[in-house]
Amino acid sequence: MAETAERQRTVLRAPRVDFDLSALALGAFGWLAYQLSWPALASILAVPEVGGVPAWIGLRSAFFDRVLGWTGLPYTNHIHGLVGSLGQIRLRDGPAYDPQLPWWKYAVVGVWLLVLWSIVAGAISRVYAVRIARDESIGAGEGLSFSISNLKQFLLAPLFVAAAAALFLGLAAAAGAASAIPGAGPFLQIVMQPLALVAALVVLILAIGGIFGLPVMQAALATEKNGTLDAISRTFSYVFTKPVAYLVSVVLVTVVAGVIAAFGAALIAIAARAMMFGASWASDPSAPIDAARAIGGGIDVGMKPGGVLGWPQVEKFDGLPVMWVYVAWAITALATIVVNGYVLSYFVGGLTDTYFLLRREVDGIDDTEVYVEGAEASLGEPLAGEPAGGGKP
């Protein structure tokens, strides 16, 4: 009797994300650029205010509603909510938040966000890839230089996946068009509808691998130097070969990132309340309400917009309380940038470590293997940097 074949089972390991100051700086830069992008895009694209909602909030909400809603993928509403929570402004649904923009404006927003993500996530992934493989910390400038110099590859990988998905989606649409041919349509549908289902399956696989596997794709490009197709191949291989390990790692990283974001928000809120309570002793109860709240209220008025990188309203303050508003605003804004920068760096770093875990499990490649600038890459296996003392990698 033949022995039962051994099946390789998934090994679940928690991603490890070491604190790295360069990654934190890149995350802070990326989050700040992301936040400042929306007002700039709203101004460039001439987005109108609708229902009293600021144009940039309406643009951001409408963009994610349209793009994520159009894909029809599961859990995209959670991604929408996560983006809103990281921006410190809750995105609300409803017609008042839809500025009714033409499709090309959404395309402009999508292209810019992809470029920004490629630069920032590519730089953070590179920092963590070198740290994981060589236990070295490269500078934020070196990480940015790497991502910018390889920006073409970082952009081509997701665009290639999107183009392939669009092609098969077009084939499914063509099947529908053939089924509508007068007379012959119902007979052609017998063949065309199964073909449309096959095309839709390919589209779904490409969309899931491209959207949910995008951080791993960035990590592959930051680790290897074998080009766009190799990064796409590795991403889909790892995501679909070890889906349980990948999903568990993504969930763990996302949950921890959410806890860090909540902890940072609570830290800022507690500091604000404590300072307002402590400053209330100097208020004059007999003074008009605005004047009575000038001291403690100045802290509140400065901290609230600082948490969302808005500009404080100081019209009701005169003299020294104006300074309290701006000091509270500046310190709160800085703390918010640092907290959200760390959340972003942790998320990208966790997915980079996930890539290394999956690469070892699927391809058996050691964690010390990483591409080093100046060395030539092969299509067979990634390159390892020479140890500090020389010798074979």
SS3 labels along 133-196 = HHCCCCCHHHHHHHHHHCHHHHHHHHHHHHHHHHHHHHHHHHHHHHHCCCCCHHHHHHHHHHHH
DSSP state letter for 97: G
From first to last of its 393 residues, the chain has per-residue pLDDT tens of 445 445 455 556 777 888 889 999 999 999 999 988 988 998 898 888 776 677 887 788 778 777 766 655 554 455 545 554 444 334 444 444 556 778 888 889 989 998 999 899 989 989 998 888 888 888 888 889 888 988 888 888 888 888 888 888 888 888 888 877 787 767 777 777 788 888 888 887 777 777 777 778 888 888 877 677 777 778 788 777 887 888 888 888 888 988 998 888 888 888 777 776 766 665 555 444 444 344 555 666 666 666 666 666 666 666 666 776 777 778 888 888 899 999 999 999 988 888 888 888 877 777 777 776 654 444 344 444 444 444 444
Sign of torsion over alpha carbons 347, 350, 356, 360? negative
CB 272 within 8 A of CB 299: yes
